[in-house]
Amino acid sequence: MTVIDKKEAVLDTSALMSLLMEDSTTENIENKISNFDYFHILDLTYYESLNTVWKRIQRNNITVDDGETIMNKAYSFLNLMKIHSFNEIVKGAFSLSVKMGITVYDSSYVFLAITLSIPLITSDKRLINKIKENKLNIL
């Protein structure tokens, strides 16, 4: 029997939304995800992605109909991924947030990637810089 190794990564909400609502980082994120077969997310990703779409609607950047279309695509995509509960990593994420000087939200994705020993895919430039400053090998 042949065992196929899956190349896995953690995908944060900024990367997901970059894929669904084209921006300056979309091409870079598309290139990164093309190197992986399977993705891990946190349950936070569901409501953070909804919040991002809600903000775009409130700012009149997209219509409600466009927002609903984006969310349908997001949920179809997210349902293909391994979903981790924030409860699994809350203590480690909090400690890491204090150490790195980042939000618990951001540190939760960083901590999940560290715990799983797989890369983190993010389009958040500030988070990328903090990861590099802290010499974490997860990008």
- Tokens found for residue 89: 């990593």
Q: CA 132, 56, 36, 80 torsion: positive or negative? A: positive
Task: Read off the pLDDT of each residue in 8-16 and give the average, rounded to a whole number.
Answer: 97
Domains in the chain, CATH or no CATH each: 8-133 (3.40.50.1010)
Task: Read off the pLDDT of each residue in 60-71 and give the average, rounded to a whole number.
Answer: 96
Position of tokens 């970059």?
Answer: 18
Q: What is the percent of the chain with per-residue pLDDT over 90, rounded to a whole number?
A: 91
- Average pLDDT of the chain to the nearest whole number: 94
Query: Does residue 86 surpass a pLDDT of 60?
Result: yes
Return the pLDDT at 113: 98
Banded pLDDT at 4 (limits 50, 70, 90): low
Environment class of 4 (CB within 10 Å of its CB; exposed 0-12, middle 13-18, buried 19+) = exposed
Contacts of 1 (CB under 8 A, 6+ apart): none
Measured torsion, CA atoms of residues 17, 81, 33, 8, in degrees rounded to the nearest 10? 140
Which pTM value belongs to this model?
0.89
